[in-house]
Structure 1
Amino acid sequence: MPSTDFVSQKFSFRLISLPCKFVHYSLRSSCWISDFPAQNVSESEDENGSCVESAINKDIFNAPPKMGSYQLGDSTFYMLIETYAKSGKISSLDGVLSRMKRECRVIREGDFILMFKAYRKARLPEKAMDLFMRMVEEFDCKPTVRSFNSVLNVMIQAGLFEKGLNFYDSVIGRENIIPNILTFNLVIKALCKLGKVDKAVELFREMPPQQCDPDVFTYHTLMDGLCKNDRIDEAVLLLDEMQIDGCSPTQMTFNVLISGLCKKGNMARAAKLVENMLLKGCMPNEVTYNTLIHGLCLGGKLDKALSLLNHMVSNKCLPNEVTYGTLVNGLVKQGRAVDGTALLLSMEERGFKANVYVYSSLLSGLFKEGRPEEAMRLWKDVIGKGLSPNVVLYSVLVDGLCRVGRPNDAKEVLLEMVHKGLTPNAFTYSSLIKGYFRTGNSQEALRAWKEIEGSNSIHNVVCYSVLINGLCEEGKLKDAMAVWSQMLGRGLEPDTIAYSSLIHGFCKAGLPEQGLKVFNEMLFQGVESRPDVVTYNILFNGLCNNDKIYMAIDLLNGMLDHDCDPDVHTCDIFLRALRDKMNPPEDGKAFLDVLVLRLCKKQRALAASNILQLMLQKFLPPEASAWKGVLELCCKRRKIILTLDKCRSKLFC
């Protein structure tokens, strides 16, 4: 009969791998380990009662070797690595790893991969890369492409695309690791995310010679990268190549291309792609329909978008909140908020609940269309349905009430908002200040501003810009300058609106030279304060009204050099000045002809064609050189030649 010591040792050897509850019982009943209190056993259960954590406490884990000749086996460590990795206990995982290193334990590659996954979940990509580099030297585990891909995926998932590519370059070719399809897919994804699409295409072409054929994910990733870099034609060509190579496209593949075409406004081509999709036996899903509906809404084709909604339902593809939200937003943008409200009712009848953002869009649209009563009914409807308005919805209501001349009511809404524990943002406060200025009540606007300052709620460039603009509109230039100084004193950098507002104030006061000084300061600031066409038009108008036409023309030359295109308002300002301020008066035809030619030389087709249309509307016939410049810029040479050949054949045949 075996001795008691031998039985105890055998029992302790089996103890580690027993189920958690049994271990707990054994530890409490065993005589040889009774010195350890019950609380030393850590155990937690999920909803189904299964153990989700190791039952082995650190003290107990370290104790068995002291009880006799028993030694912990490698399987114990492997179990702990798996347990800690799955539960995300990084510190415990590192502790086990350190002990295994001290005891010269063998760690399998699969266990390293478990640790890499744990680092990915914990968002510790640097630790994963560091551990990979230590695999051979410290743990004598030779990595393969499996562990390499695991670490590379950690880097890509963390958005460290450049570091991921550097990691790829430092390992592949040196560690005798041969990349597989997953490796290529990850690297192509990183290149596309960094905008290095040409390099991604180059790598894609290197795959077949390395006995690695692209799969559907490779094509999808590269197509997405091409579409996002405005290379739709190349992406569509990849679809043909993909099918020739025997790789069947999926819904995801078609959706990427359809999305790219819709963003470009090429709906006809997107529709043909849907037909191709159907021919391949690949049925459109809700993503396909939502993409098409969004594209139609962007192009202002709301009726076709609504028709597509019915087609979607008839094909047994149920619309979702995204579908309805897109349509409602599209209707609002076209000034059809009432139709949007009707669609909202239809949506709710079908069992969908609109979120606060859909209501925000509708509420804003109704106010902008001058329908405050309907907007307030919609607001009551939101409250009545038990929805909790957020900051966005409250801010839209404040802005809408100010828009229709009810800033006092808007202030009551703002107070209610604060009472409910919501913090107003810059848009909320700036809307209220703007509302008081619109009603000519600058005192209340300033009082509202002081309340904001007193509560230290917000000190934002947007609010300062609105305040400066309002004061300048009322001719209170000194007050505006004081606010400007205060803004600079707080360390805030003025944006384009703030600069434009102050320039407008100087020009309105008959001081365009002061406006030019502010403008020159603006040119040396960052991107956020870059002058736009509105800023230039303010200065053009101020200079021309003060008989400084030649200074305005010099400024126009600078505008063209800074890649800012003149618009119709720019032309109207100069035409009026040439007619009213010049002696003798000029009709401005020669001026516009030269402007069109200059824009053509700078390859600015849209601006040149818009000015050409303006000339025709004002009965100022452009010179042949202006016509030629715009036509060559807007039309492809081959199409022009074909059109001319058709005309000749009709005339002479």
Structure 2
Amino acid sequence: MPISYLIRKSQKSKLFSIPCKFSIPFSLSFSSQTVSSDASDIESNGDNFDPPLADGIFSSSPQMGSFKRGDPTFHSLVMKYADSGDFSSLERVLDRMKRENRVFTEKIIISVIKAYGNAGLPDKALDVFDGMLGEFGCKQTIRSFNCALNVLVHLGHYEQAFGFYSRANSMGISPNFLTFNLVIKALCRIGSIDGAIELFREMPLRNCSPDAFTYSTLMDGLCKLGRTNEAVSLLDEMQIEGCFPSAVTFNILINGLCREGDLGRASKIVDNMFLKGCVPNEVTYNTLLHGLCLKGKVDKAVALLNRMVSDKCVPNIVTYGTLINGLVKQGKTSDAIRILAFMEERGQCPNEYVYSSLVSGLFKAGNSGEAMRLWQDMKEKGCRATTVAYSAFIDGLCREGNVVEARRVLSEMVEKGCSPNVLTYSSLMRGFFKAGDSQGALVVWKEMVENGCAPNEFSYSILIQGLCEDGKLKEGMMVWKHMLGRGCMPDVVAYSSMIYGLCNAGRVNEGLKLLNNMLCGESKPDTITYNILLNGLCKSGKLPRAINLLCNMLDQGCDPDLITCNIFLKNLGEKKTLDNAREFLDELVIQLCKRGRSVGASTVVEVMLQKFLPPEACTWEKVIRDLCKRKKVHMSIDKCRRELFS
């Protein structure tokens, strides 16, 4: 939850609002000739430095302003040094105030606590708070308590914040709504959402009413843990309690629903927003655009951009970047280029992330020339290439097989003071493997480790895949053991690569053991993994085991594809049982239909038609009935009608 809202609330409660009645319109400089009698006392105590205040300041000329040797002048200096972070001068002023028995107000102490907090010195801030009564003669109240608590929460010292909060009762301080908000925020940050809700329910018992910030903090914590339904119910509760939700509140819920892909409920929240007189802002639109792009609905995202402009809400770089990235992921790079031109016409300068997305998309689309031109255009327009941009460019060059140029760009990247990351090195390794230069890939791996870039699951997967595809199973297994030894969990690519290497070496049983490990772990096998094993079993003449594995594949929710069908057709054909091939695939379609997997069934039917093996009439009926359910047909008709008459 953004701290800006907390600051605004704090300013309203005058927690941090410390008016400065006096200011020093000139800089203070001291020489050895401007030493006061007080300075002599300081030096006699062993402190060999010029005093922060000279007596001349209080008898300055009328042009400089008239000052009295009173508390307000000291207070002004404390405020000035606290705001500037000049702690050396600040401590000198505080020491002199203590020696002269000056009055310390809570406002002054709060400014000092805030200064130490802004400098990332929570222990110093707590020392000042703890010394308020004894050292400064100033009573501690809920205002200074909340200020110190805010420092701890803002800097992420949550456990220390909880301990500090528990001291409130022993100090005779009654927490207010701001105190609860800070502790609830800290609990949400550490993922203890149930503890935050428990404290939230305790607030009315302590005569504290939750405000919009309290509800928004809880909603954000719930959404981040995937408990969006509870977050939405809190919206209803806060409105019943008479607490008016802000745009921040609505945006949190919209973001949570969009992350889950529930765009229907997200749009209802937007409608609720309008009903409450809360106008959607650029954050609302950007969140909806991101959700639409995640679902692949870029056409609706473009339409939303037009609505955003018509609603007098100015799109920003995040808006355009989200839309461009969504179009690139859908393979609509030409449309993304048009959006780039559109944003430049409206005075928005693309940043390195926009350029990175476009360069990557152009390379993937096979348009390397346009990608190179865009890269040069980025540099000419003064947009500094970051690690993200360089990594995207290097990855694109490697996809084109231009590893020599990719190597040169990596050197340029280092010369420009931009540190390569694990993605940069991994892309280069993949490029060398693709070019058939496994030795070059190993050199890049060694260079990555020597430069202090720790390998991760992705880089290990690239290395294992390259070695196994190059027939270097022994080396691949060594890397596999090294990865496990470092606590890196293999992903589906690493597992599939190792299984490929084992099956290619005729060690199919070991590959099946790895499959069992996958099923017991977090990385679940996909169609590629099963196809590797199915092919290995069929090559070994173990067709019955392959059929059993295919049944297990269906049970795991993994649909066969064209390669799966071809593996069995090839082996059935070799045994001169092509008449049974149609029966085999026909039965496969029926099994998929029974499991409600119409898409997978349609894929197999398409393969059968391509191979001139038409399904039985009853099989046709099952597939068509499943594809043409009443609801789906009506939806298709309604869609066509809207497109025709809109």
TM-score by length of 1: 0.70
**For 1:258-297, what per-residue CA distance to the aligned partner results, in whole angstroms no more than 9, with x for missing partners?**
2222223232333333333233332222112211222221
- Of 296-305 and 395-404, deviating more is 395-404
Shift of 1:348: 0.8
Counterpart contact for 1:152–1:167, Cα < 8 Å: yes
Pair 1:446-2:439 in alignment: yes
CA contact (8 A) 1:254 1:273 kept: yes
Q: What's 1:85 paired with?
A: 82
Among residues 365, 369, 391, which one is paired with 1:395 in the alignment? 391
* Cα deviation 1:530-581 (Å, max 9, x = unaligned): 56546566456545543567878999999999xx864546994899499859
Q: 2:313 aligns with which of 317, 330, 334?
A: 317
Alignment of 1:176-195 (within 5 A): 176-195=172-191
Which of 458, 470, 473 aligns to 1:474? It is 470
- Give the match for residue 167 of structure 1: 164
Match of 1:150 in 2: 147
Supply the distance in 1 between the matched residues of 2:391 and 2:137 (Cα, whole angstroms). 62
The one-letter amino acid of 1:450's match is: V
Change (3 A) 1:298 1:475: same
Q: Give, in angstroms, the shift of residue 176 of structure 1.
A: 2.8
Per-residue deviation, 1:184? 1.9
Report the residue type matching 2:162 in the other structure: L
CA distance in 1, matches of 2:96, 2:515: 67
Say if 2:142 and 2:176, in contact at 8 Å, map to a contact too: yes
Give the whole-Å Cα distance in 2 for the aligned partners of 1:195 and 1:319. 33
Task: Report if the CA contact (8 A) 1:113-1:150 is conserved.
Answer: yes
How big is the shift at 1:355?
Answer: 0.9
The correspondence of residues 136-285 of structure 1 with structure 2, limited to 5 A, is: 141-168=138-165, 170-285=166-281
Q: Which AA in structure 2 matches 1:150?
A: C
1:544 touches 1:577 (CA, 8 Å); kept in 2?
no
- Contact kept in structure 2, 1:363 and 1:378, CA below 8 Å: yes
**Per-residue CA distance 1:287-324 (angstroms, 9 max, x = gap):** 12211222221222212211221222222221111111
Q: Is the 8 A contact 1:24 1:55 kept in 2?
A: no
- How far residue 175 of structure 1 moved from its aligned partner, in angstroms, is 2.9
Query: Could you say if the C-alpha distance between residues 339 and 99 of structure 1 is closer, same or farther in structure 2, counting changes exceeding 3 Å?
Result: same
Distance 1:621 1:408, change over 3 A: farther
Shift of 1:460: 3.4
Decide which of 121, 125, 134 is 1:124's aligned counterpart. Answer: 121
Contact 1:589 1:622 in 2 (8 A): no
Residue 336 of structure 1 aligns with an amino acid whose one-letter code is K
Q: Which runs of 5+ in 2 are unaligned?
A: 1-21, 58-68, 609-614, 632-646
Task: Please give the alpha-carbon distance, in whole angstroms, between the structure 2 residues aligned to 1:23 and 1:481.
Answer: 70
Deviates more, 1:533-542 or 1:405-414: 533-542
How far off its partner does 1:596 sit?
11
Instruction: Report the counterpart of residue 638 of structure 2 in structure 1.
Output: none
Q: In 1, are the aligned partners of 2:561 and 2:603 still within 8 Å (CA)? A: no
| Residue of structure 2 equivalent to 1:354 | 350
Q: What are the within-5 Å matches in structure 2 for residues 538-577 of structure 1?
A: 538-539=532-533, 541-543=535-537, 545-547=539-541, 566-568=558-560, 572=564, 576=568
In structure 1, C-alpha distance between the alignment counterparts of 2:447 and 2:30, rounded to whole Å: 65
Change (3 A) 1:86 1:505: same
Structure 1 position 413 matched with structure 2 position 409: yes
Structure 1 residue 389: Cα displacement: 2.7
Q: 506-515 or 95-104: which moved more? A: 95-104
Do the aligned partners of residues 28 and 593 (structure 1) sit closer, same or farther apart at CA in structure 2, a change above 3 Å counting?
farther
**Cα drift, residue 34 of structure 1:** 11
Quick one: structure 1 residues 95 and 506, their matched pair in 2 at CA, closer, same or farther if it must change by over 3 Å?
A: farther
RMSD: 5.0
Distance 1:554 1:126 in 2: 65
Shift of 1:182: 0.8
Distance 2:553 2:133 in 1: 61
Tell me which amino acid in the other structure corresponds to 1:354.
Answer: P
Letter of the 1:165 counterpart: F
Using a 3 Å threshold, how does the CA distance of structure 1 residues 347 and 517 change in structure 2: closer, same or farther? same
Is the aligned partner of 1:291 residue 2:287? yes
Give the SS at the match of 1:249: coil
Structure 1: 5+ residue runs without aligned partners?
A: 1-16, 43-53, 61-71, 601-606, 631-638, 640-653
SS of equivalent residue, structure 2 residue 315: coil
Instruction: Answer with 146-155 or 84-93: which moved more.
Output: 84-93
8 Å CA contact retained: 2:193, 2:221: yes
Cα pair distance change 1:494/1:297, threshold 3 Å: closer
CA contact (8 A) 2:535 2:567 kept: no
Q: Aligned equivalents of 1:208 and 1:506: distance in 2?
A: 64
Question: Are residues 1:431 and 2:427 paired?
Answer: yes
Amino acid at match of 1:151: A
CA distance in 2, matches of 1:94, 1:560: 73
CA contact (8 A) 1:191 1:199 kept: yes
Q: Residue 344 of structure 1: CA displacement? A: 0.5
Matched residues in 2 for 1:135 and 1:559: separation? 69
Deviation at 1:222, TM superposition (A): 2.4
Note closer, same or farther for the CA distance 1:102–1:326 as it changes in structure 2 (3 Å cut). same
In 2 relative to 1, CA 522–107 (structure 1 residues): closer, same or farther, beyond 3 Å? Answer: farther
Cα deviation per residue 1:13-54 (whole Å; 9 max; x = unaligned)? xxxx995859768994789799999x9657xxxxxxxxxxx5
Larger RCO: Structure 1 or Structure 2 (Cα < 8 Å, ≥ 6 residues apart)? 2
Q: State how far apart, in whole Å, the 2-side matches of 1:150 and 1:591 are.
A: 68
Letter of the 2:276 counterpart: K
1:365 corresponds in structure 2 to 361
Contact 1:259 1:291 in 2 (8 A): yes
Q: Partners in 2 of 1:202 and 1:243 — Cα distance? A: 20
- Say whether the 8 Å CA contact 2:518–2:525 is kept in structure 1: no
Partners in 2 of 1:190 and 1:521 — Cα distance? 38
110-119 vs 515-524, greater mean Cα deviation = 515-524
**Counterpart amino acid of residue 145 in structure 2:** F
Distance 1:115 1:181 in 2: 23
CA pair 531-267 structure 1, distance change in 2 beyond 3 A:
closer
Tell me the SS of whatever aligns to 1:171: coil
Point out the more displaced range, 100-109 or 455-464.
Answer: 100-109
Contact 1:469 1:501 in 2 (8 A): yes
Instruction: Name the amino acid aligned to 1:86.
Output: D
Residue type of the alignment partner of 1:433:
M
One-letter amino acid of the structure 1 residue matched with residue 282 of structure 2:
E
Structure 1 equivalent of residue 499 of structure 2: 503
Q: TM-score, normalised by structure 2?
A: 0.71
- Aligned residue identity for 1:331: L
Secondary structure of residue in 2 paired with 1:265: coil
How far 1:160 moved relative to its partner? 2.7
Identity of counterpart residues, as a percentage? 49
For 1:460, the equivalent position in structure 2 comes to: 455
Q: Contact (CA 8 Å) 2:216, 2:248: kept in 1 or not?
A: yes
Residues 20, 55 of structure 1: 8 Å contact kept: no
CA gap of 1:567–1:144, structure 2 versus 1, over 3 A, is farther
Residues 33 and 237 (structure 1 numbering): CA distance in 2 closer, same or farther, change over 3 Å? closer
d(CA) in 2 for partners of 1:572 and 1:541?
8
